[in-house]
Structure 1
Amino acid sequence: MGFVQIVSHWLAWVFLLSEWAIRLVMLAVVPFRRTPAAAKGWLLLIFFEPWIGLLLYVLIGRATMPRPRIEQMARVPQALAKVRERLLKHPNIFHPELSPGLEWTGYLAEKLGRMPTFAGNAAEIMVDYDAIFARLVTDIDRAKNHVHLLYFLFIADAATAPVIAALGRAVERGVVCRVLVDSLGSRSGLHILIPKLTALGVEVREMLPVGRFRSKRKRLDLRNHRKIAIIDGRIAFTGSQNLVAADFVGGVTYEELVLRLTGPVVLQLQYIFATDWFLETNGALESGNIFPDPEITGLIPIQALASGPDFPIQNNQRFIVALIYAARKQVKITTPYFIPDEPMLQALQTAALRGVDVHLIVSETGDQVLVSWAQRSYYKELLEAGIKVHLYQTSFLHAKLLTIDDHIGLVGTSNMDIRSFVLNAEHILVIHDPGMTGRLKTEQSRYISNCRSLDLQQWRQRPFRLKLAEHLARLASPLL
């Protein structure tokens, strides 16, 4: 045996032993502080491809937040303590009586997200993509003190050009404009967006920055998925729509739902923005101009529920599961991505078995192939439990809303998937109002009228190759 063959032989043994060492070590490491489903997904990857799995785990798989982030988050309450103290004592901040039997919902949301229900709000449902941009531009042009934008995806394109121009005009009037964009979500366009906004005098920061020399932000999988626009602390926009053209993904046109809000709840969204700004800049936004005296503009009780890896538990998942178990008549979920964890899947199945009319509204076609396959793998279980699955035909329905009976509606940025429950910074608005809930249900009925409803027998007859692809994708669902 020649020298080269000997070296190759030993290298092969070293490689083989290293793979088994990785498998055995990670068998002890991966399950730590992780759900069984997530642990199963990581271990499956590592056992098949040890070195690739280890590399991905180091990049995106660790179960703890980076220490600098934990320490910075711990300083938020003190940095914004004066704001909370002043606002909670204001006469226009009061907690309304909620629907009988549902008082606990406001209490639970407050315990999870630390924000109470505020009465006195007005809300407008907006679904026209271009009209949402136009209304935002109009409000920015009327701004007198500040404009705050926090978006997962903000791209400088033809659709957002009027928004960027409005920010420039606002700066010229002396209005302070601050923009937060997710580093990875907006990565493809940051090299254009940031210089353009900076040249206009806009203060812009990347959220959760990623890069070779950004060692304090090593978790590439932790993203800020929120979408909030605030003008003068008086007007807010939030919902599913990013700042990007509706057709930014080839072959897909996005359809959205956004709320334009006025009233005290705007200050809760402002608090979320101020928290994220502090986490990225160490600067506390606490002045009376940033948090003006709240105004009563309507009759709707609303509270914001923030969630994400900065919180000790999965706020949005816990609250939504609790609502599903509490439903008595109907549950309607509209989401672009449906990859539930086991508790949510069981809650939906149990609700249907109790006689609750449960509907899931998702798009027929997706914008992410692997996610779409994994999502489809759940339809059979849902249909067998009596849950109605509706596939939207008109466009890619990106709206994110949920209605429970006739009393509670949820609108926000959170998808019904494991990523939104565990890894993304998200928020939802909890709307404790039958009238507003009815308007949201009207939108969901409109969606259903443009859907193809699945039939269990027909779904069972789909080709085996599709079933195989769907269930293989499902194995990776905790990692998506």
Structure 2
Amino acid sequence: MFWIIIALLIFIFQIATILIVEFRQPSKTVAWLLILFIFPIIGFVMYYFLAREFQRRRTVRKRSVVAEEMRLQALMRCRIVHRPGDMNNKQFNTQERFFGLLQSMTLSPITGCNETVVLTNALAAYRAILGSIEKARHHIHVEFYTIRDDKIGRRLKEALIRKAKQGVEVRLIYDGVGSLELGGQYIRELNEAGVETHCFLTPRLAFFEKRMNYRNHRKIVVVDGLAGFFGGINIGDEYLGGNPKLGFWRDTHMKVEGDAVYFLQDVFMRDWWFTTKQRLTGPEYLPEHNCKGNEQVQIVSSGPNSSEDAILECVFSAISVAKTRIYITTPYFIPDNSVLMGLRTAALSGLDVRIIIPDVSDSKLVLYASLSYVAEMLAAGVRIYRYKKGFIHAKVLIVDDLIASVGSANLDMRSFFSNFELNGLFFDERTLKVLDDDYKKDMEDSEELHLSAFQQRPRWQKSAEVVARMLSPLL
């Protein structure tokens, strides 16, 4: 009896700890309690090492001091948009409140002198990235969540080695978990050629610092401070359709030249300092550009070390100001309550709300979690499509003819709260038209779900969705 009482007290202590620490995020609390009930001791050990709150204040203060001088230089060289009336998109004349939210993100304002290219799928993205790398004269900055030692991974390695031997500064950041399978030989060959490589939170370091849950999910390439690339595409043959289980891989990446590249550079330099404690300074990293375009672009980054959830705030605000349509493409649909309510309310109000999700997925658990939201979305009038041509990995949001978002962040709680992410916001008619055309093509390659048919799915699948939904805040 004595040991039973001791075990019970320990269990109560574990429950109380989770309730006290996670009281701000009830859904996350439920997920950890479920794990704790299934694995009483192991669950708490997992919680201790995986769920520690990132040390925000101290890290934010250090990072801001390190990069402040360079960011001020970037602001001085940019054409910054300060008023809704200065936007090329005249719909902002009636969007003072939304514009105010975007303008409040002082680390990366709306820039006015840019040229952009939508890179639909990996083949176009890899060609553009490798082509830009070949033209590099001073530096190449590369940051990916996943890099694989396969055909395209070796092409990237060879290109970086070639440029390093030509005297170009080459720096590479890769995530410790996302690139877990990347062999040491790959990195050694880069280092021997003069490429500086660093792993963002190696699994061992992340485990003992209790930061395993926080990953760098960004995908950034900056060449000479003049051309920048970002979006949803990592480095791996599967993005070219090389995974037989997933087949054709549908994705979206962006190329930008002009003012916005300075802020892509700023994010990379902050991540470089975080990873290496080396400060990158000098005008050569923020060179004068000859961009003739007038497209307006805003780079938005977020992460667990930030005092703001910038990407979530942008997504929620964009949904809340929609007047006619909200189009979303996401491989992982696990929204927080605010986004979920925003989408339901928009659809119930008569807006055209559409969401494209995969039919096949690289994660069954995440797919079931996504499907757990489908019935309530359909009941509210949201139109849901499952992509049939292969696996859709693009992360795109289009609201009216007002704004589009493309980047690395999925519409899930991991991207909103746990990952280091980066999105670009686009406001000009030409870019929105290209993204809209891509969206319509994706709908043609998808099958629309209907509530009556979806409700007939097997009981085992419904049960799997329930479990996955409870665990979804941790996925």
TM-score where L is the length of structure 2:
0.93
Q: CA deviation at 1:86?
A: 2.1
1:52 aligned onto 2:34: no
- Map 1:100-249 → 2, pairs under 5 A: 100-112=93-105, 114-211=107-204, 217-246=209-238, 247=241, 249=243
Look up the match of 1:5.
Answer: none
Is 2:291 aligned against 1:292? no
Q: Distance in 1 between matches of 2:105 and 2:4?
A: 47
Does 2:398 align with 1:408? Answer: no
Deviation at residue 58 of structure 1 after TM alignment: 1.1
Q: Which residue of 1 aligns with 2:245?
A: 251
Contact kept, 8 Å, 1:109 with 1:115, in 2: the verdict is: no
Between 1:293-302 and 1:181-190, the stretch displaced more is 293-302
Q: Residues 331 and 215 from structure 1, CA distance in 2 versus in 1: closer, same or farther, beyond 3 angstroms?
A: closer
Distance 2:399 2:10 in 1: 50
Equivalents in 2 of 1:215, 1:349: separation in Å?
38
Asked whether the 8 Å contact 2:116–2:255 carries over to 1, the reply is: yes
Cα contact 1:241–1:257 (8 A) shared by 2: yes
**1:70: how far off?**
5.0
Shift of 1:49: 2.0
Partner of 2:461: 466
Partner of 2:277: 282
Give secondary structure in 2 for the equivalent of 1:289. helix
Q: How many residues align?
A: 465
- Cross-structure match for 2:64: 77
Moved more, 370-379 or 462-471: 462-471
1:408–1:434 contact (8 Å) kept in structure 2: no
- Whether the 8 Å contact between 1:106 and 1:116 is mirrored in structure 2 is no
The 1-side partners of 2:99 and 2:187 are apart by 39
Q: Identify unmatched segments of 5+ residues in structure 1.
A: 1-9
- Of the three residues 413, 418, 421, the one matched with 1:418 is 413
Structure 1 residues 113 and 224, CA, compared in 2 at 3 Å: closer, same or farther? Answer: farther
Name 1:377's counterpart in structure 2: 372
TM-superposed CA distance for 1:435, in Å, is: 2.5
The AA in structure 1 aligned to 2:93 is: P
Q: Distance in 2 between matches of 1:470 and 1:463?
A: 11
> Residue 91 and residue 160 in structure 1: after superposition, are their counterparts in 2 closer, same or farther (change >3 A)?
closer
State yes or no: 1:342 paired with 2:341. Answer: no
* Aligned amino acid, residue 21 of structure 2: F
1:351-366 map, 5 Å = 351-366=346-361
SS of 2:203 mapped into structure 1 = coil
TM-superposed deviation, 1:294: 4.1
Q: Is the 8 A contact 2:115 2:257 kept in 1?
A: yes
The letter of the residue matching 2:338 is: P
Partners of 2:112 and 2:259 within 8 A in 1: yes
- Residue 223 of structure 1 contacts residue 425 of structure 1 at CA under 8 Å; is this kept in 2? yes
CA contact (8 A) 1:92 1:296 kept: no
Segment drifting more, 311-320 vs 104-113: 104-113
Aligned to 1:392: 387
Among 25, 29, 32, the alignment partner of 1:35 is: 25
**Identity over aligned pairs, percent:** 29
**What is the aligned counterpart of 2:7 among 18, 42, 51?**
18
1:432-452 deviation per Cα after TM superposition (whole angstroms, max 9, x unaligned): 223311211111111001000
- Change in CA separation of 1:394 and 1:192 when aligned onto 2, cut-off 3 Å: farther
* Residues 1:458 and 1:92: Cα distance change in structure 2 (over 3 Å): closer
The farther-off stretch of 71-80 and 19-28 is: 19-28
**CA deviation profile, 1:103-147 (whole Å, cap 9, x unmatched):** 443431342462110001111111242232122111111100000
Q: Please identify the structure whose Cα radius of gyration is greater.
A: 1
Change beyond 3 A, Cα 1:384–1:93: closer
Cα distance, 1:344 vs. partner?
Answer: 0.9
Whole-angstrom CA distance in 1 between matches of 2:388 and 2:206: 43
User: Once the two structures are superposed, what CA deviation does each residue of 1:388-428 show, in whole Å capped at 9, x if it has no partner?
Assistant: 00100001110111000012000000000010011000011
- Counterpart residue identity of residue 136, structure 2: A
For residues 70 and 207 of structure 1, the distance between their equivalents in structure 2, rounded to whole angstroms, comes to 20
Residue ranges of structure 2 left out of the alignment (5+ in a row): none
Aligned residue for 2:174, secondary structure, equals strand
CA contact (8 A) 2:164 2:194 kept: yes
Deviation of 1:479 (Å): 1.4
Tell me how far apart the structure 1 counterparts of residues 5 and 194 of structure 2 sit (CA, whole Å).
Answer: 57
Alignment partners' CA distance in 1, 2:432 and 2:185: 40
Distance in 2 separating the partners of 1:160 and 1:397: 21
Name which of structure 1's ranges 32-41 and 15-24 shifts more when overlaid on structure 2: 15-24
Higher mean C-alpha displacement, 317-326 vs 213-222: 213-222
CA distance in 2, matches of 1:80, 1:161: 32
Work out whether residues 19 and 51 of structure 1, in 8 Å CA contact, stay in contact via their aligned partners in 2. Answer: no
CA contact (8 A) 2:347 2:380 kept: yes
Structure 1 residue 93: Cα displacement: 4.9
Q: Judge conservation of contact 2:78–2:113 (CA < 8 Å) in 1.
A: no
CA contact (8 A) 1:113 1:305 kept: no
**So what's the TM-score if we normalise by structure 1?**
0.92
SS in 2 for 1:427: strand
Q: Which secondary structure state, in structure 2, belongs to the residue aligned with residue 187 of structure 1?
A: coil
The alpha-carbon deviation at position 74 of structure 1 amounts to 1.5
Residue 233 (structure 1) shift: 0.5
Query: In the alignment, residue 380 of structure 2 is paired with which amino acid?
Result: A
Is 456-465 or 41-50 further displaced after alignment?
A: 41-50
For residues 187-208 of structure 1, the C-alpha deviation after alignment (integer angstroms, 9 at most, x for no partner) is 1114233212112211000112
In 2, the alpha carbon distance for the partners of 1:303 and 1:186 equals 28
Code of the aligned partner of 1:187: L
Paired AA for residue 89 in structure 1: M
2: distance between equivalents of 1:19 and 1:112?
48
CA drift of 1:250 comes to 5.4
| Contact kept? 1:155, 1:193, Cα under 8 Å | no
State whether structure 2 residue 263 is matched by structure 1 residue 271: no
Q: For structure 1, which segment, 19-28 or 125-134, has the greater mean C-alpha deviation from structure 2 after superposition?
A: 19-28
Deviates further, 181-190 or 16-25: 16-25
Cα pair 2:372 2:466 within 8 Å, conserved:
yes
- In structure 2, the residue matched to 1:88 is 75
